[in-house]
C-alpha cells in the first residue's frame, strides 16, 4: 500500500469528500490541517505550488483537488 497524505482544512467540502472516499475504500491516510499547522501549510505549498486544498499525495504523485478518477487509479481501485 502506498503512503497517502492529505493536506486539508476543516471547512473544505472537497477535503471531506476525499477523506470519506479513503475511509469507504479502507485507505489509511495521514491528514494535515493546514489551517492551523503553518509548517505543514508551507510544506504543502512547496510541494504543490498551490494554496488551495485538498492537496493529496499518493506515493510520489500529487493531486490538487478531489480528482476521484485519478485518485482511484493511483490507489489501484
Judged against a pLDDT cut of 70, whether residue 60 lies above it is answered with: yes
Give the architecture-level CATH label for domain 4-75. 3-Layer(aba) Sandwich (3.40)
Residue 19 region, left (φ>0) first, then alpha (ψ -120 to 50), else beta?
Answer: alpha
Residues 19, 69 contacting (CB under 8 angstroms): no
Judged against a pLDDT cut of 80, whether residue 1 lies above it is answered with: no
pTM value is 0.93
Average pLDDT, the chain: 95
Q: Tell me what the mean pLDDT of segment 29-55 comes to.
A: 96
Amino acid at each position: 500500500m502506498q503512503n497517502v497524505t492529505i493536506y486539508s482544512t476543516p471547512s473544505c467540502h472537497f477535503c471531506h469528500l476525499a477523506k470519506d472516499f479513503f475511509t469507504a475504500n479502507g485507505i489509511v491516510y495521514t491528514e494535515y490541517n493546514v489551517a492551523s499547522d503553518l509548517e505543514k501549510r508551507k510544506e504543502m505549498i512547496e510541494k504543490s505550488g498551490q494554496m488551495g486544498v485538498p492537496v493529496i499525495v499518493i506515493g510520489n504523485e500529487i493531486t490538487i483537488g478531489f480528482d476521484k478518477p485519478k485518485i482511484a487509479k493511483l490507489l489501484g481501485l
